Structure 1
Amino acid sequence: MIEKINFHINELNSMKKYPKELFCIGNKNLLNKRKVSIVGSRKPNLYAQKMTHLLSQGFAQRDMVVVSGAAIGVDSIAHKAAKAENTIAVVANGLDIRYPAINKKLIEEIEQNGLMLSSYKKGEKARNYSFVQRNEIVVSLGEVLIVTYADEKSGTLSSINYALKMGKKVYTIPHRLDESIGTQKLLEKGLIEPIYCIETFLNSFCSIEKKDDELTNYLKTHPKYEDAISKYASKIFELELDGTIIVENGLVKPIF
């Protein structure tokens, strides 16, 4: 059910002009939690996809809400990795329109468990200018902005400009020299900062209480995947699906 927000959202004071109206579907309590904005290209490379997933999941594990724009690519990866109940999706159209259509299922999940947000009334379709305002709202809501991939002429660069004007820190992940040229140039100018270690970066916001149990202690040793499966088969599969562990070079490495 679409509701009109009748209270002031302090984070949006950083916008050039506070929205005339705001509408939502879902859990408005997410607006009261700590939030981080994660955006990027609609066509990120595999490395950026993986890093977006790890960052978004890590923030959700630390009880922080991931804010993004529900677009394909980095946005949808961020929403999915954080899980619907830990995400706010800001869209550039009326909330009766689930756009882009390819993300209809994701948007429905966020409606049910997270929060959909828009400054546009029912029936209003997305237009160039509405995407720009959508980007400004996304940036305003987060403590910082993280851009995991952006081409040289990417629309994501407008989000970075908003963040810099608002005095917010902007972070990205290091790429090869011929990739994510948009963020590479800004890194070179010293306008944004690189993330070199996911766990260290996440813990700079809030560390998570680590479980002290037999399985957790075992995973800290980075066992061989085959050995871990033979010892904790169902648990390893469960943690792998959840993204709590990753397998690199045949070794199991915990993310928690």
Structure 2
Amino acid sequence: MKPRPGPTTRMRIREITGSVARDRRDDLATEEPLEIRLASADGARKTVAVTMRTPGHDFELATGFLHGEGLVRPGEIAAIAYCTDEDLPPEARYNTVTVRLRGPIPDLPALDRHFLTSSACGVCGSASLDALHDRCRPIPRGELALTPEVLYGLPDALRGAQGVFGKTGGLHAAGLFTATGELLALREDVGRHNAVDKLAGWAALADRLPLAGHVLMVSGRASYEIMHKALAAGIPAVCAVSAPSSLAVDVAREFGMTLVGFLRGERCNVYAGGERIAA
């Protein structure tokens, strides 16, 4: 049986410096598919999604994805396990997660429509916002107060806790912080949206949702996907090292979220929800 994949993969490479070449080993960020399946108590099964991810915290990833997409509430989950079906090749065991529900699988046509809507491919912004309004409420204004000093410390705290990135240089990170800048949890992945799903899944499995009064810090840019996953988890503030997209800003303003971009050193841009920052 193929061993359980880890977050890094060691490969031989050729390094060239100037006119000198040498062969050595290098650690790369592992990227493998994860199939997320739903199963009911009566034995019915349905593959909901296949995502490319960095192995690790797979149960959190599946839980966060299902919650973020509005498909399954954490309380509806009876068990989560890697798949051991006889029809599954041995090497795929740790790349397939089955989420067993306490009740039936949700209506399948609705699942398919929702997944297509949330893929952010060829869907207009207004349709995406309408879909969010169907299942998410605006964030209350008074749940979080931040200072510029706390914000300025978030990127270094995030980077300092990125153990796999330190080895590979090739992973995104998402960190959950308190209003005082304390790092509660960090997850890494080749997909920035996966890192956020892992964080949301961690909170869901620990019965910590919604995450009112917390800050999400991401290592890349802030996209629509990042904002809608943060909104679904009840996170009032999202900070990013790079720029936000226009639709990310629309989501933040529409749902009362704070969105900070280009957070580097002692400067940043506030695109929405500036009233939560005492500057």
Bigger helix fraction: 1
Q: TM-score, normalization: structure 1?
A: 0.28
Bigger strand fraction: 2
Structure of greater Rg? 2
Q: TM-score, normalization: structure 2?
A: 0.26
